[in-house]
Structure 1
Amino acid sequence: MNRPHAPSVPASEAPEHPNQFALLGQRRFAPFFWTQFAGAANDNLFKFAFTVMVTYQLQVAWMPPAMAGLVIGALFILPFLLFSATSGQLTDKFEKHRMIRFVKDLEIGVMLIAGVGFWIDSPAVLLGCVFLMGLHSTLFGPVKFAYLPQVLRDDELTGGNGMVEMGTFVAILLGNVVGGLLVTLPDIGHASVAVACLSLAVVGRLTAQGVPVVPATDPGLRINWNPVSETWRNLKLAHGNVVVFRSLLGISWMWFFGAVFLSQFPSFAKEVLHGNEHVASLLLVVFSIGIGLGSLLCEVLSRRQVEIGLVPIGTIGMSVFAIDLYFASRGLPQPAQAWTALGFISQPAHWRVMADLALLSLFAGLYSVPMYALIQLRSQPTHRARIIAANNILNALFMIASSVIAGALLGAGFTVPQIFLFTGIANAIVATYIFLLVPEYLLRCIAWLVTNVVYRFRVQGAHHIPTSGAALLTCNHVSFVDPILMMAASPRPIYFVMDYRIFRTPLLGWLFRLCKAIPVAPRSEDPAVYEAAFARAAQVLRDGDLLAIFPEGGITRDGELQAFKGGVMKILEQARADGLDVPVVPMALTNLWGSFFSRIEPKGAMTRPFRRGFFNRVTLRIGAASPAADCSAEQLRQRVGELLDQEGHPGSRSPALG
C-alpha cells in the first residue's frame, strides 16, 4: 500500500550511527528515551509499593489483601479503555513535544497528591492516584509510539523500538524492586516512597524539556470528546488497513500472553516452585531481562530494517518454551522451608525453569518489536497516534480477558503450570490463524531464513527502493528463490510477475501463490493468462505498490544475462496510459548461479543440495531509479549488466564456476 512518509528529521540530516545504542547520544532520541523510562519506572514503583502496603501493612476492610493487586491493576487499566481514543486525537492534533511536557506536568501533580496519601496512609487517596497514573500512561502511550517515526529513519525504527521496549521492561523491573524495598523500610518507608515517586516525576519533566520540537501531524483535527463514539471510530480507522489492524491484534495477543505469566508469578513461585516472595521477584527479573535482550536482538537480526519475518520465529519460541515450562515444573524438590532466591538458583532442577522463562520472554521481544515498527511504518502519519490509541484499547481488552480466563481456569481446578501449557498451545493456534490471514509475516520469515541460513546474503543500495509510491523493479533471473531474496531486501511488500510454470513446483508454487504473485504465460500459449497478468500488474501500480518482473522471461541456464523481452515495456506503456510516471529500479543478483536452486546441471535445479557448500555469499545490488520515459528494454538490460559487472566477472556467474 502507498504509505506517505514525512519524518521531521529527514534521512539525509539524521546522523549515521553504528548501532541502536548510539541513539542514546542523540538529542532526537535520548531525552525521549529517559522520559519514558522515568515514567514507566514511576508507574511501577508507585503501584507495587501501594500493593505491598495494603497487602501486608494496612488492614483495609473494604479491600482484602487477596483482592488488592486485582483492584489496583484494574483501576490502572480503566483509563486506557475510557480515554485512549481521546489521547490519540490530542497527539495527532498537537505537537508531540508539548504533549510530552504536559503529561509530565500531570505526573508531578499526581505524585504530589500520592505523597499526601502515603503520608496519611490513605488507601482511598492512593486508589484515586492509581486511576490518575493510568490516565497519565494513557495520554503518553500514543505519543510514545507516534513520536519515533517522526524523528527516526525507516532503517532506525526497529532499533529505536527495541531500545524503548528494553527500557520499558528494565524500568518496570527497577520500579517494582525499588518500590518493594522502600515501602518496607521501618518508620520511613511510606515517606521514602512518596519522595522517590515525586523525584522520578521531576526527573521525567526535566528530561522532557530536552525533547526537540516535533510538529503536529494533523493540526486541523476537530476533537471528538465522546469516548464511546471515538473509540469505535478509531477501531474502524485501524480496521481500514488490514495488515495494520491484524498487527494490532497480534500485539494485543502478546500482552494477553505476557499478562498470564506476569499475573501468575507470585502463585507459581509459592505453590509450584516452593519459593518465597524473593523467588517471585527473581522470576520477574528473568522475564524482564529476556524481553530486553529479545528487543535489542531485533536490530541485529533484521539488518536494521523493519523485519516482520522475525514475528513467526518469536511465536514459535514463545509456544515451545511456554509448553516446556509446564514439563519443567513437574517433580521439583520441595524444601522444609520455602526456597530463598539464592537457594532456588543453587538447585540444578530449577535451571530449566529459569531458562524456559528467559527464552519465552526473549522470543516475545522478537515477536513484539517488529510488529510495533510495522504499525508505525504502515500507518498514515496524519492519524498514526489514533491507530496507536486503538492498539492501547485492544491491549487493555486483551489483558482484562487474560485475567478473566486465567481466573476461570484456576476456579475450575487447573494448576498454574497447566495454565502456562494452555497459553502456549493457544499461542500457536492464534499465531497460525494470524499468519494465514496476513501471509506477509510468513513470507518474510521464509525470506529471512533463506537469507540467513541458506546463504550469506547482503544488499547494496537498498535505499534506492522507494519508501512510498509505485515502482517497477527489474532483476536478472538466476534461480527459483530470486523472489524470496528480493522480498528480504525490501521493507515493503512486492508483487511479482512470474512464469506460470514455476507455480507447478509443489512447495515454491504454494509459496508464490501465498504472496499473490502474478502468473504470466506467453501469449501464443495462453492469451487469457497473458492478458490477465498485465491487467493485474497495471492494477498493482495504480494502487501505489511495488511490482517486480524478471524481463529475461525465464531462469538462466548458463549463468549469462539473457535478452530482455517486451513484457517490461508493455507494463510501462500501460502505466503511462494510466497517467503514472513509474520509476524503474534495476537490480542484479550475483554469485547465485550454480547454487542448489539454479539450473546449472543438465538435470536442472534442486538436484544436489550441497554442491556449493554451506552459506554461499550472495549479493543483491540495487541501482538508482530511472524515469519510465527514459527506459527501453535494451537500456534496462544494460543497467542490470553494469550492476553485475561490479562483481568483477561477466553475467551472473559464480567466480568458482565461471
Structure 2
Amino acid sequence: MLYYILRPYVTFLLKFFIKRIKITGIENIPKTGAVMLASTHANSFFDAVLLCCTLDRRVWSLARGDVFKKNLAKKALSSLFMMPVHRLSEGKEHLGNNDDTFKKCIELFKQGEIVLIFSEGLCTNQTKLLPLKKGTGRLAQQAWLDGLDLKVIPVAITYNNFKSFGKIINLSFGEAIPKAELPNPTEDGVFLRRFNEILSEKLNQSLNWNFPKLSPLQTPFFTLGYILHFPAIGLATFISKKLTKGTVFFDSITIGLMIVLIPLYWLIVFFVVRTFGLL
C-alpha cells in the first residue's frame, strides 16, 4: 500500500518542514478500538498528513470528493486510505455517494479503525473555529445506534503561519466526547444540535494560538536540515507559491513537491560528489 511506503518517508521530511510541534493529549487516543478524530481544518490536505504521521495507528481520512474524479487520482488516494465526501457545491447528483462513504466508515468502526473527519466541512486558513457541519454528529449517531463503542476525539490544530516554510504547530487531542451527556441518538435534531455544541466547546478550549519565537539554535535539526537541503526546499517553496497563490494549498503542495525533489537532490549531490572524487 502507498500509505505504508510514504508514511515513514513523509514523517522524516516533516522534520525539515516543521520547526517545532507541540502535541498535547495524545494519551486520549486509545491503543485499540474504534475512534473518530473530529478535527479542525485550517490547512487543507496538510492537516491529514500531519495527523497520519503523528499517530502510530493507521488513519482513514475523509477528503473532498472532487479530487477523486480522475481514475488515477482515485486509485492513489484510495491507496492512502482516503475516502470521498461530496459537497453541495460539487452538484446534488454526487451527494448520494456520501451514503456509501458513511457506510464504509461504520464498517471501519466495526473493525476497530480510526477515521479522520474535518468537522467544519470547509477549509480556510482561519484563526477561529468555523460553524460545524452535521456529518461528524451523524456518523457518531449511527455508530452508537449500532451499539458500537466509538470514541469521538476532538482534534485542534493551529499554525503560526500558512504561507511560509518552517512551521510552528500546536496539536491538541481532547478527551472523548462523553456519550452519557448527549440526548438519545434516536432524537435526531436534538442529538445533532447538542453534539455540535459539545464538540465546538471542546475544540475552542483546545485551540492554542500561542507560538514561541525560536532561534536557529533552539531548532538544530530543522536548521541543519534547511541549510543542507536549501536548493530543494527553495525550489519547492518557489513553485508552490506560484501554483497556490490565493488558495489554501501552499503547505500541501510544498510537502508534495518535497516528496519528489528531496530524493532527486540527494541523487544530484551523490553524483556530484562521486564525479569530483570526494567519496
What is the TM-score of this pair, normalised by structure 1?
0.28
Residue of structure 1 in register with 2:16 after alignment: 453
The answer as to whether partners of 1:447 and 1:487 remain within 8 angstroms in 2 is no
Change (3 A) 1:629 1:575: farther
Residue of structure 1 in register with 2:242 after alignment: none
The answer as to whether partners of 1:472 and 1:585 remain within 8 angstroms in 2 is yes
1:556 Cα deviation (Å)?
Answer: 1.8
Measure, in 2, the Cα distance between the counterparts of 1:630 and 1:507. 44
2:185 is the counterpart of 1:622: no
Change (3 A) 1:506 1:531: closer
Residue of structure 1 in register with 2:206 after alignment: 643
Q: 2:103 aligns with which of 521, 524, 535?
A: 535
Q: 2:63 aligns with which of 488, 498, 513?
A: 498
Residue of structure 1 in register with 2:156 after alignment: 588
The answer as to whether partners of 2:37 and 2:115 remain within 8 angstroms in 1 is yes
Measure, in 2, the Cα distance between the counterparts of 1:481 and 1:633. 24
SS at match of 2:96: helix
Measure, in 2, the Cα distance between the counterparts of 1:507 and 1:452. 29
Letter in 2 for 1:647: W
Per-residue CA deviation, residues 494-538 of structure 1 (Å, 9 max, x unaligned), is 111222134469998765332221101136341331111111111
1:481 Cα deviation (Å)?
Answer: 0.8
1:452 Cα deviation (Å)?
Answer: 1.0
SS at match of 1:443: helix
Q: 1:463 aligns with which of 18, 24, 27?
A: 27
Structure (1 or 2) with the greater helix fraction = 1
Measure, in 2, the Cα distance between the counterparts of 1:595 and 1:510. 29
Equivalent residue runs for 1:337-356 within 5 Å: none
What is the TM-score of this pair, normalised by structure 2?
0.62
The answer as to whether partners of 1:471 and 1:582 remain within 8 angstroms in 2 is yes
SS at match of 1:587: strand
Letter in 1 for 2:139: I
Q: 2:133 aligns with which of 538, 560, 565?
A: 565
Change (3 A) 1:510 1:628: farther
Where does the alignment leave 5 or more consecutive residues of structure 2 unmatched? Answer: 183-194, 212-279
Measure, in 1, the Cα distance between the counterparts of 2:70 and 2:124. 17
SS at match of 1:621: strand
Measure, in 2, the Cα distance between the counterparts of 1:502 and 1:528. 17
Letter in 2 for 1:443: L
Change (3 A) 1:648 1:513: same
Query: Relative CO higher for 1 or 2, CA cutoff 8 Å, sep ≥ 6?
Result: 2
2:77 is the counterpart of 1:512: yes
Letter in 2 for 1:576: W
2:77 is the counterpart of 1:526: no
Measure, in 2, the Cα distance between the counterparts of 1:450 and 1:474. 25
Measure, in 2, the Cα distance between the counterparts of 1:561 and 1:505. 32
Measure, in 2, the Cα distance between the counterparts of 1:635 and 1:508. 36
Measure, in 1, the Cα distance between the counterparts of 2:119 and 2:30. 20
2:6 is the counterpart of 1:443: yes
Change (3 A) 1:558 1:624: closer
Letter in 2 for 1:528: G
The answer as to whether partners of 1:448 and 1:488 remain within 8 angstroms in 2 is yes
Measure, in 1, the Cα distance between the counterparts of 2:67 and 2:25. 28
The answer as to whether partners of 1:498 and 1:520 remain within 8 angstroms in 2 is yes
2:36 is the counterpart of 1:472: yes
The answer as to whether partners of 1:581 and 1:628 remain within 8 angstroms in 2 is no
Percent identity of equivalent pairs: 25
Change (3 A) 1:454 1:506: farther
Per-residue CA deviation, residues 158-205 of structure 1 (Å, 9 max, x unaligned), is xxxxxxxxxxxxxxxxxxxxxxxxxxxxxxxxxxxxxxxxxxxxxxxx
The answer as to whether partners of 2:65 and 2:87 remain within 8 angstroms in 1 is no
Structure (1 or 2) with the greater strand fraction = 2
Q: 1:552 aligns with which of 117, 120, 123?
A: 120
1:566 Cα deviation (Å)?
Answer: 0.5
Letter in 2 for 1:565: K
Change (3 A) 1:634 1:576: same
Measure, in 2, the Cα distance between the counterparts of 1:505 and 1:554. 22
SS at match of 2:108: helix
The answer as to whether partners of 1:518 and 1:537 remain within 8 angstroms in 2 is no
Change (3 A) 1:458 1:519: same
SS at match of 2:3: helix
SS at match of 1:562: coil
The answer as to whether partners of 1:582 and 1:628 remain within 8 angstroms in 2 is no
1:555 Cα deviation (Å)?
Answer: 0.7
1:492 Cα deviation (Å)?
Answer: 0.3
SS at match of 1:481: helix
Change (3 A) 1:513 1:639: same
1:550 Cα deviation (Å)?
Answer: 0.3
Q: Count residues in correspondence.
A: 194
The answer as to whether partners of 1:462 and 1:489 remain within 8 angstroms in 2 is no
RMSD over equivalenced CA pairs, Å: 2.6
Equivalent residue runs for 1:54-65 within 5 Å: none
Q: Work out which of the two has the higher radius of gyration on C-alpha atoms and give 1 or 2.
A: 1
1:628 Cα deviation (Å)?
Answer: 3.5
Equivalent residue runs for 1:72-151 within 5 Å: none
1:451 Cα deviation (Å)?
Answer: 2.4
1:557 Cα deviation (Å)?
Answer: 4.4
